[in-house]
Amino acid sequence: MKSLAATATLAQTRQSYDFAVIGAGTFGAWTAWRLKRLGRSVLLLDAYGPGNSRASSGGESRVIRMGYGKDEIYTRWSLRSLDLWKQLALRARQPLFHRTGVLWLARQDDPYALATEATLRKTGVGFERLDRAELDKRFPQFAFGPVTWGMLEPASGALMARRAVQAVVEDSGVEYRLASVVPPSGKSRQASVVTAAGEPIAAATFVFACGPWLPKLFPALLGGRIHPTRQEVFFFGVGPGDRRFSPPSMPVWIDFGGEAYGIPNLEDRGFKLAIDRHGPTFDPDTGRRVVTVKGQAEARRYLARHFPALKDAPIVETRVCQYENTSNGDFLIDRHPEFDNVWLVGGGSGHGFKHGPALGEYVAARLTEGGPVEARFNLATKEKVKKREVF
C-alpha cells in the first residue's frame, strides 16, 4: 500500500502530535480519521498493519445491519455508519459495501426479534415482515426448519472488511506508522509512550484502540474485563453456474436462535457460514489459525439442515479470527483511571466492525469537546462475569 508507506515516512518527521491512536482497526482508524477532519495532528500506529490477518477488523467480510433488539443506540449508529461507509466507497472508488439485504430468521414469539421489529419501526428503518409461507416462496434455497417468520432489511448488507479498513487509513490523511507500543507506566499524565523498538512517541492524548490486544497491554485493568475468543469461519464453494447463493437471490442472513449467520457468495469467494457462539480463549499474536475438525463438523451439520443443496459443498476458504468480548457485549469507551490523557476504546464483541464510523465520531467528540460518556460504555460497567446481552 504505497500511500501508507508514504505517510509512515512523514510520521518520522514530526516530534509531537495532538493525538496518537494505537490500533488501526475499524475503531482506531475511524477515530483517527475524524480527529484529522477536526484539524488535529494525528499519528496512527499498528503492530501488524490495517486489516492484517490477526486483526479483528481483518478477513473478507462483515455484516452491516440495523436491527439490534431494544438497543436503539446501535441501530442509530449503524444507520450513520452505513452512510459514512458508502461515502468512503465513493471516494476510494472501491466496492466496499454490497447491498444484499439482511434477512432475520425468527422463531415463534422470539423476544429479540420482536424487540428488533419495534426498534426498526421506531427509528424509521425500512424492513419487510415475512411469514413462513413468504419465506419459503422467496428463498427456496433455505430449509427454514423451526423458523416461523422473518424480517428483511433491504438496504443493509455486507462490508468488505480488510479492504474497507485499509481504505479508511488511506483516506484519513493521518500520519501512519507500523509499530507496536509498550504500555504506559507510572501515574497521571503521559508525555509519551515508547515503541517496542525504543522510540518515544510524544502526544497530548493517547487512544488505545487495540481490540484483542487491550487486555495484553493493560492486564491488571482489562485482563478479566475483555475476553478474546477464538471464532471459526467457513467459506463453501457453490456449484458451477449456481447463482442461488449469490446476490440478489441470497441475502445476508442471521439466525440467532440457531447461533449462526451467513453471507452470500460475494465476489465469488464462497458462501460464508459462521457459528455465532463464543469460542475458547484465544491469543491474537500466537493463537493457531487453523480450523478444527469439531468446528468443521458443526458448520457442515448446520449447512445440511438449512441449505441442503450445499451439504456436500467443498470448503474453499477458512478463517480463524477473534471476538474481543466485554461482559455484556457493549463497547468500552473511557479514560484510563490512572492516566488523565490515555483513553481505552475497544470491546467490539463480534459486532463492532460496522460501527466504526459512528464510533469514531463519538470518540473524537469526547476527546475534543468533552462531555460524559454514555454509561453503557464506561469501564465501570465492564464486569468479570460474562452476561452477553448485545448481539
* CATH classification at residue 354: 3.50.50.60
Opening angle at CA 20, ends 17 and 22, nearest 5: 160
Amino acid, single-letter form, for residue 193 = V
Could you identify the residue written with the cell 503521559?
A: 190
Burial status of residue 348 (CB atoms within 10 A of its CB: 0-12, 13-18, 19 or more) = buried
Burial status of residue 180 (CB atoms within 10 A of its CB: 0-12, 13-18, 19 or more) = middle
> How far does the chain reach from its first CA to its final CA, in angstroms?
34
Same domain, 120 and 210: no
pLDDT at 14: 56
Q: Kindly state whether residue 69 falls inside one of the protein's structural domains.
A: no
pLDDT at 6: 43
User: Which string of b and e fits 366-375 if b means at least 16 CB within 10 Å?
Assistant: bbeeeeebee
Same domain, 288 and 241: yes
Mean pLDDT by 10 residues, the chain (391 residues): 45 76 98 98 98 96 98 98 98 98 97 98 98 98 98 98 98 98 89 95 98 96 95 98 98 97 98 96 97 98 98 97 95 96 97 98 98 96 78 73
Same domain, 308 and 295: yes
What pairs with residue 272 in β-bridges?
A: 235, 263
Amino acid, single-letter form, for residue 304 = A
Same domain, 141 and 39: no
Q: How far apart are CA 337 and CA 341, in angstroms?
A: 10
Verify cis geometry, omega within 30 degrees of 0, for the bond prior to 248. yes
Q: How far apart are CA 38 and CA 356, in angstroms?
A: 17
* CATH classification at residue 243: 3.30.9.10
Q: How far is CA 240 from CA 13, 140, 215, 307, in A?
A: 53, 19, 45, 17
Same domain, 208 and 320: no
Same domain, 215 and 169: yes
Q: Which pairs count as long-range contacts for 12-17, CB under 8 Å and 24+ apart, including other chains?
A: 12/177, 14/41, 14/43, 14/175, 15/202, 16/202, 16/203, 16/204, 17/41, 17/42, 17/43, 17/175, 17/201, 17/202, 17/203, 17/204
pLDDT at 234: 98
User: Which string of b and e fits 247-269 if b means at least 16 CB within 10 Å?
Assistant: bebbbbbbbbebebbbbbbbeee
Domain range for 343 is 2-57+162-225+328-381
Around Cβ 120, how many Cβ atoms within 10 Å?
21
Region class of 167: left (phi > 0), else alpha (psi between -120 and 50), else beta: alpha
Burial status of residue 99 (CB atoms within 10 A of its CB: 0-12, 13-18, 19 or more) = middle
pLDDT at 38: 98
Same domain, 266 and 135: yes
Query: Cell numbers of 346, please?
Result: 475497544
How many distinct structural domains can be found in the chain?
A: 2
Same domain, 124 and 262: yes
Among the candidates 304, 325, 346, a domain finishes at: 325
Give me the sign of the Cα torsion angle 273, 277, 280, 283: positive
Same domain, 145 and 256: yes
Same domain, 312 and 210: no
Q: How far is CA 183 from CA 24, 25, 199, 219, in A?
A: 17, 18, 13, 10
Residues in the chain: 391
Query: Cell numbers of 181, please?
Result: 507500543
CB 60 within 8 A of CB 269: yes
CB 363 within 8 A of CB 86: no
